[in-house]
Structure 1
Amino acid sequence: MLTPRQTEQFGSSCQYRYDDSNLVGSGSFGEVYTARITERGDYVGEDVVAVRRVSIMHKSLVEDPENYGKLRERFQLLLNLQHIHLVQYHQISIIPTRMAAAVKLMMDYYPNGNLQTKLQRMKDSGIHLHCREAVGHALDLADGLAFLHQNNIVHGDLKPENVLIDRSSAHGQLQQENLRISDLDHLVTLQRSTVSALGGEHFRGSERYMSPEMLRAIGPPVSRHTWPVLPGCATDMWSVGCILLQLVRCMTGDYREILHHPVSGQVRGAGATETLKDLAFSTAVMSGYIPVVLVSDAACTAVPPELAACIGDCLRTAGDQRITAQQLCDRLSHIN
């Protein structure tokens, strides 16, 4: 159990420094800063890293020995996750505070932003995403997710903002973009009940990318940002399908947001320059409506039929009918 004067550190023995001027982003899960390594210890990465600082508001996580033990296990799990399509964590520190504790997670820094920023910039500029690039991005996501699922881990909050862009260079030449799934510090382990790494007994998600079963479990809008039940692999696949749908829209330039009810045949949607409000969108999904690939006749040839089929198989209403991450990898790898 953590006492008020103890700080516990996991992972690399390096030291780093940052201040408030190094803030690069903030959200419901804390703030992210850039930091500079001051003492390398056993760390062998870049001099500039990212540090995510999160406040733990539930005292039970650090005062209850069983919960704190699970917290330590979760941090060790994060440090052991190594995959080309996952953000790499190097050091995690738990620091006592007056309320409960703060957690600092040191990870690799990717200065090229996230997938949401890229797609929005392309939309604003009228630039279309090339089919090969879209399929490559989809394969990156599927591969990283397949690794997590094979290790009985669910992400639980997949969305373009949580997908970072890594551009590595060799011999002075820019290489193809490599996507890395981020925000792994609140992932869910399967096979046993655990507490969230940072959030207590409730997990958070983004309703735009939440599966129908998770939205139904949430209930009324007042509790829309907590999950009374744990997500599973199938809920991640719904989220991936929503992201792939955004890639297709960027390919075709057709940004109409349309949802179709497979039983009644009814359609809901917004115009070419609008999107449905979050409440209207999630209510429709809870009612059985499914986001669909909708492109104009002139753009149809830009979307490989197998890519559209993969999206459809991710966005099935019933979770047990959705494609798995490994199946998605296999099918995407055969798209020319």
Structure 2
Amino acid sequence: MTKLLPIQGERYGQNWNYEGLHLIAKGAFGQIYKAKLIEPGNSLNADFIALKVVHFKNEEVLSDESAREKMRKRFQRLLEIKHHCLVVYHQITIDSTTSPTSFTVHLLMENCSGGDLAGRLQKVKATRTNARSNLPARITLDLRTAVCYAQQIAEGLQCLHRNCIIHGDLKPGNVLIRVVRDEAGIQEQLVIGDLDDFIQMQNNTTCSKDVSTTHTCGTLRYMSPEMHWKMSQTPTVSPGRKVDIWSLGCIMLEMVNCILGIDQLWLRNVKSSADKKRGDNVEDYSYALLVCAGYVPIVPKETPAAFADCICRCLSFPSEQRPRAAEVMEMLHDPDVLHKMQSATSDSCKCSLV
């Protein structure tokens, strides 16, 4: 058990006291702890909350007052964006006194006790394996639930995009499961998390210059072609809202494949002599190369026509052909989406690798 006490520094949002109890997750730039609120009578009526500790090493920010002010506004923005399909940030503390070349940020947010969508899909796969080996089955996923999940993610994206915010790294691991207990029983709701590395748009159509030219984010399997090109700088492309729509299409496809028991999530098992890059495995890098070459993931023929069409439109290229988040929501509320899994995909759906 780790005792992690609040840091001293610039604090925004709720003035709560807490202590970190134990490590939940660890990444390249920080850690996430399950924290205990020690402030009596807090407005959450909850004992536990999530604490994300992020470490930055940026001499430019530390030496430039205008850059520091941009950083403050960036984190304050997280406290302003409120939506039931987004993770809630309650308190942010910035400390730049521990080191002359780095600073630490404590992000106090809601504790989503249901885990994340990536973990849920892994449990579904494990359940299928258990069923084949006559072990007890516990976790399942059906099409109606998958569509409901996609609706909630699209609704969260719509809120972000309306506020000129691009997530930039949407994937199952960054989609959290909120557990709500009320008179009706226990309900689950998906919320988009990991918002603290968002891309701020300068206006309604373009990203701010400092972000569009220097900001690199995303996970290879869920990155759109334009983001892959941006990484390789051939050519330099400023990310837009539609990078999130591509990622949503990848998530919907992954859920469909999970339901159908397809282990190969993306493409045929294409082997490449490409070297590993950014720490990702060769298969992920091979997928990135194919996406850049104009290939798109395969939508299984068993997918209901309306749902398949929605996935294909999200995976369209160029990005202008992809729908807005609001349009995705409209498509997902179409009754045809909930047809049986045996329904064939529409003739107009041409998402396949040839």
TM interval, shorter chain, is 0.7 to 0.9
- Among candidates 169, 182, 185, match of residue 157 of structure 1: 169
Q: Which residue of 2 aligns with 1:133?
A: 145
* 2:293 pairs with 1:252: no
Alpha-carbon separation, structure 2, partners of 1:201 and 1:6: 30
**What corresponds to 1:204 in structure 2?**
217
Match of 1:188 among 194, 199, 202: 199
Q: Is residue 29–residue 56 contact of structure 2 (8 Å, CA) maintained in 1?
A: no
Aligned residue type for 1:112: G
Give structure 1 stretches of 5+ with no counterpart. Answer: 221-226, 260-267
Letter matched to residue 78 of structure 2: L
- In 1, Cα distance between the equivalents of 2:42 and 2:126? 44
Q: 2:345: which partner in 1?
A: none
What letter is aligned with 2:33?
Y
* Cα drift, residue 304 of structure 1: 2.1
Distance apart, 1:117 and its partner CA: 0.7
* Kept after mapping to 2: 8 A contact 1:258/1:294: no
Which one of the candidate residues 158, 165, 180 is aligned to 1:146?
Answer: 158
Alignment-derived partner of residue 330 in structure 1: 330
CA offsets, 1:149-168, max 9 Å, x none? 11111100000000001121
Listed as ranges, the matches of 1:61-76 within 5 Å are 61-76=61-76
Q: Which has the higher contact order (CA 8 A, sep 6+)?
A: 1
Partner of 2:185: 173
Normalising by structure 1, report the TM-score: 0.84
> What's the Cα RMSD here?
2.6
Aligned pair count? 304
Q: SS state of the match for residue 168, structure 1?
A: strand
Q: Secondary structure at the match of 2:38?
A: strand
CA contact under 8 A between 2:226 and 2:237: conserved in structure 1?
A: no
Cα deviation for residue 232 of structure 1 reads 1.2
> Against the structure 1 CA distance between its residues 326 and 91, is the aligned structure 2 distance closer, same or farther, given a 3 Å change threshold?
same
Residue matched to 1:309: 309
C-alpha distance after superposition, 1:115-167 (max 9, x if no partner): 00110111122165211101000001000001111111110000000000112
Distance 1:187 1:258, change over 3 A: closer
1:85 aligns with 2:85: yes
- CA 1:102–1:85 in 2, change beyond 3 Å: closer, same or farther? same
Of residues 201, 220, 227, the one that matches 1:214 is 227
Cα deviations across residues 198-253 of structure 1 (Å, max 9, x unaligned)? xx943321111100111012118xxxxxx975421111111110000011112222
| Partner amino acid, structure 2, of 1:322 | R
2:284 paired with 1:278: yes
1:274-333 CA distance string (max 9 Å, x none):
x971111111111111012124xxxx2xx3211110000000121111111110011101
Identify the residue that residue 102 of structure 2 maps to in structure 1: 100
Give me the whole-angstrom Cα distance separating, in 2, the residues matched to 1:185 and 1:40.
Answer: 28
In the TM superposition, what is the alpha-carbon distance from 1:270 to its structure 2 partner? 5.8
Structure 1's 162 and 257: CA in aligned 2 closer, same or farther, altered over 3 A?
Answer: closer
Aligned partner letter, 1:146: Q
The question of whether the paired residues in 2 share the 8 Å contact of 1:14 and 1:41 is answered with no
Q: Percent of aligned pairs with the same residue? A: 37
**Equivalent-residue separation in structure 2 for 1:154 and 1:102 (angstroms):** 23
